[in-house]
Amino acid sequence: MNAGLLQDKVVVVGGVGPGLGRAICMQASGAGGSVVLAARTESRLAEIAAEVEAAGGQALSVPTDITDDAAVDNLVRAAVGRFGRVDVLVHNAFAVPSMKPLGRTDFGQIRDSLDLTVLGGLRMTKAFTDELAKTRGAVVMINSMVLRHSEPRYGSYKLAKAALLAMSQTLATELGERGVRINSVAPGYIWDDQLRWYFGELAAKYGVTPEQIYEQTAAKSDLKRLPEPDEIARAVVFLASDWASAVTGQTLDVNCGEYHR
């Protein structure tokens, strides 16, 4: 479906997990890109890198704490040392929100979220800017549909993601003259193993089936279903590719029509 969109490009994915992070790596590789995987959990990186290679792609795993300057600098050296260039940076690092009202949210938890989500994205972008400028490359920030609503208990999460969006837009303006594009993807619910587990917990709590929880949630969307990881990842691939060469400073919502923008 996306064959060739990232042909011969080198894609660095920060915040690789078993759900969306894995899907981004697999879709980027399927589009012809070589993938550099970065996250703190080395065993997870090795597992997904092996999956990329088993499918015929090229992958490099670099255990990285994106809140640490030295670790991110090492990631840049490793990526360039192996592949000679970097064309795309995807910032997918995720901090689990507190899910408490802001009045009862611990400031330390908010600071940690901002450090990972916002400053981590800035640290990665700054570190890779020179390499991305050489290739007139692209950065894709993974945001969230939390931008589109104001519901109780999402305050700390929305605070971090709203700051990430503002930062992304400013970076698009600042780095545009160097040919670097900065865009965001804002997923809705993502139908992966984590959400399946959560819906199972809700079903047990309320005495209904997981299928009923899914149907009630999906009913809010135009397509009456929830997007899957590969569908989010393909939006990332598009924004990272030359097909989006005139797109920067934008946010692409991928939520099956739950929110309109």
| pTM flag (> 0.75) | yes
CATH H-level superfamily of 10-190+228-254 = NAD(P)-binding Rossmann-like Domain (3.40.50.720)
- In this predicted structure, the answer to whether residue 9 has a pLDDT above a threshold of 80 is yes
Residue 259 designated active-site: no
**Which pLDDT value is given to residue 1?**
61
pLDDT in tens, 182-218: 999 999 999 999 899 999 999 999 999 999 999 999 9
pLDDT band at 12 (very low <50, low <70, confident <90, very high): very high
Chain-wide mean pLDDT for the chain? 95
Mean pLDDT in residue range 89-111? 87
pLDDT in tens, 212-233: 999 999 999 999 999 999 999 9
- In this predicted structure, the answer to whether residue 94 has a pLDDT above a threshold of 90 is no
Q: What is the chain written as a DSSP string?
A: --TTTTTT-EEEEES--TTHHHHHHHHHHHTT-EEEEEES-HHHHHHHHHHHHHTT--EEEEE--TT-HHHHHHHHHHHHHHHS---EEEE--------S-GGGS-HHHHHHHHIIIIIHHHHHHHHHHHHHHHHT-EEEEE--GGGG---TT-HHHHHHHHHHHHHHHHHHHHHGGGT-EEEEEEE----SHHHHHHHHHHHHHHTS-HHHHHHHHHTTSTTSS---HHHHHHHHHHHHSGGGTT--S-EEEESTTSS--
- Where exactly does CATH 3.40.50.720 map onto the chain? 10-190+228-254
From the list 154, 157, 189, 214, the catalytic residue is: 157
pLDDT in tens, 39-89: 999 999 999 999 999 999 999 999 999 999 999 999 999 999 999 999 999
